[in-house]
């Protein structure tokens, strides 16, 4: 059974993006969105992969990080900050690196299905990066303040808990964010960084799951029927109209 621990980290300042979630409605007669046939779409398929094995999952602690807010953003502001807004499928989770950050970053690849804003193209595969993720405990603690590491060591000793840091993992998730999953499709807000990766911005408001059935092994570009699609409201867990969201926050921005 997976062990869990909650760690609260204070005084870390980042920009969090908040989407105003309105008019959600779960349509019981349409569980999955539709895919339209289009012979012009590339037929190449990609294997879905993830570095997170069952062995890693069974050796992982959950770390929920509470961040200090400095600014709240409307959906229009989130759209202004993004270089691209797209409907994309996650091909891979390649790894998470804590270096240079208290929270670490997860890297992987995405397949672009539909571009709603920006210069990316349908069928393009991009490298993405996203805050947080599952990483080796020993690597993560190297980036943490000495005082915090000493406190954890003390608490382990007091509770007679012994941990092999090289074979134990920590799942860093920022409060208000969601975990990204390979094989799933999302409405995603992306901003290109200096390493030519596209960072997923907006936490749970910049990454919203589409009601498209997940492929467990391979994925190909899809010509999506937006009118039949819904996106997950990460606050309520229910789905709302993608078309209404686009009409309100993207087309009219």
Q: What confidence tens digit (pLDDT) does each residue in 225-236 have?
A: 999 999 999 989
**Residue 121 backbone zone (phi > 0: left; psi -120 to 50: alpha; other: beta):** beta
In this prediction, residue 194 carries a pLDDT of: 87
| The model scores a pTM over 0.85 | no
pLDDT in tens, 149-197: 899 898 989 888 888 999 999 999 998 899 999 999 999 999 999 888 9
Check if the beta carbon of residue 172 is closer than 8 Å to that of residue 103: yes
Query: CA 210 to CA 226: how far, in whole Å?
Result: 10
In this prediction, residue 4 carries a pLDDT of: 43
Domain map of the chain by residue range? 13-250
- Entry field: residues in the chain: 253
- What torsion do the CA atoms of 26, 225, 94, 215 make, to the nearest 10 degrees? 80
Query: CA 146 to CA 153: how far, in whole Å?
Result: 11
In this prediction, residue 29 carries a pLDDT of: 33
In this prediction, residue 151 carries a pLDDT of: 92
The parts of the chain modelled with pLDDT lower than 50 are 1-31, 37, 39
In this prediction, residue 118 carries a pLDDT of: 95
């Amino acid at each position: 059974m997976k062990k869990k621990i909650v760690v609260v980290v204070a005084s870390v300042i980042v920009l969090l993006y908040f989407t105003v979630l309105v008019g959600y409605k779960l349509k019981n007669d349409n569980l999955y969105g539709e895919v339209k046939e289009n012979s012009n779409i590339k037929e190449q398929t990609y294997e879905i992969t993830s570095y997170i094995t069952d062995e890693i999952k069974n050796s992982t602690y959950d770390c929920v990080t509470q961040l200090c807010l400095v600014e709240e953003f409307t959906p229009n502001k989130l759209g202004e900050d993004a270089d691209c807004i797209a409907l994309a499928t996650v091909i891979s989770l390649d790894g998470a690196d804590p270096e240079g950050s208290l929270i670490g970053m997860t890297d992987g690849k995405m397949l672009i299905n539909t571009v709603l804003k920006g210069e990316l193209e349908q069928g393009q595969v991009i490298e993405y990066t996203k805050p947080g993720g599952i990483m080796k405990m020993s690597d993560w603690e190297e980036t943490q303040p000495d005082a915090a590491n000493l406190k954890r060591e003390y608490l382990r000793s007091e509770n007679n808990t012994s941990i092999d840091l090289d074979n134990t993992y920590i799942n860093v998730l920022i409060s208000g964010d969601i975990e990204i999953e390979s094989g799933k499709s999302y409405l995603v807000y992306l901003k290109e960084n200096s390493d030519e990766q596209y960072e997923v911005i907006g936490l749970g408001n910049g990454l919203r799951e589409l009601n498209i059935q997940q492929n467990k092994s391979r994925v190909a570009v899809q010509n999506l029927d937006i009118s039949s699609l819904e996106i997950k409201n990460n606050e309520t867990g229910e789905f709302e109209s993608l078309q209404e969201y686009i009409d309100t926050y993207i087309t009219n921005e």
